[in-house]
Amino acid sequence: MFDYISISTLNDFIFCPYSIYLHNVYMGGDEELVHATPQTQGKAAHVAIDEKKYSSRKDEITSLSVYSNELGIIGKIDLYKCKEKVLIERKYQLNTIYQGQIYQLWAQYYCMTEMGYEIEKLAFYAISTNTTYPIDIPTEENKLELKNFILRFKHFDPTHPLQVNINKCTHCIYCNLCDKIDTENVYT
């Protein structure tokens, strides 16, 4: 059987592989207790999309489930504007665009193009500042980079010692629950 990897898990993996474990341990609990401020805001930002309330326009597709057989991934897009052929990922706040977020958008792009959608533009949209950040369409070299990253995910050895990066940890939503560090995150 072919196992598909969730695009959001890839994003978590690049941030910290251990966060995937914590996410799976605590996702069944009280989400209000687990979520730090940025995630709560981000989640609220996605509610309209997930409930398909964001747009009733016929030329906009929201919250579409997507997959790629070639890359072995599945996920959901935020917003695709059919006329402009633009795929948009909304975030509540975007001070920095991290590589994991770009991989996420590339992954969505490859899923959609494999499914037959035409995409000419990619962008992030920051709700808090009403700002659009255009992202280049990935090249063949970028695709190879994404494929190698997916391979790294598949071959990850969880017994390998974790490299803890305290800067990341203090911005990690699982910081207060994580047994790898003693500090609290910056959101408390």
Which amino acid, one-letter code, is at 188?
T
Output helix, strand, coil percentages for the chain, rounded to the nearest 5: 40, 20, 45
19-78 residues in contact with ligand SF4 (CB under 6 A) are: 19, 22
Of the candidate residues 84, 119, 168, 187, the single one contacting ligand SF4 (CB under 6 A): 168
Indicate the residue among 22 and 71 with the shorter CB distance to ligand SF4.
22
Interatomic CA distance for residues 151 and 128, integer angstroms: 35
- Out of 36, 111, 135, 178, which residue is the one contacting ligand SF4 (CB under 6 A)? 178
Q: Is 175 in the site for ligand SF4 (CB under 6 A)?
A: yes
Give min distance, CB of 136 to ligand SF4, in A. Answer: 28
Number of H helices and E strands in the chain, helices first, is 7, 8
Site track 107-146 with ligand SF4 (rule: CB under 6 A), x = hit: ----------------------------------------
55 vs 176 by CB, closer to ligand SF4 = 176
Kindly state the number of chain residues that form the binding site for ligand SF4, as judged by CB under 6 A.
13
Q: What would the two tokens of residue 21 be?
A: 């474990």
**Which residue, 127 or 181, is less far from ligand SF4 as judged by CB?**
181
Which positions ≥6 away from 106 have C-beta within 8 Å?
Answer: 122, 138, 142, 143, 146
Q: Which of 150, 154, 155, 177 is nearest to 18 (CA)?
A: 177
Torsion, CA 111, CA 117, CA 123, CA 129, rounded to 10: -110
* Interface with ligand SF4 (CB under 6 A): 16, 18-19, 22, 164, 168-169, 172, 174-175, 178, 180-181
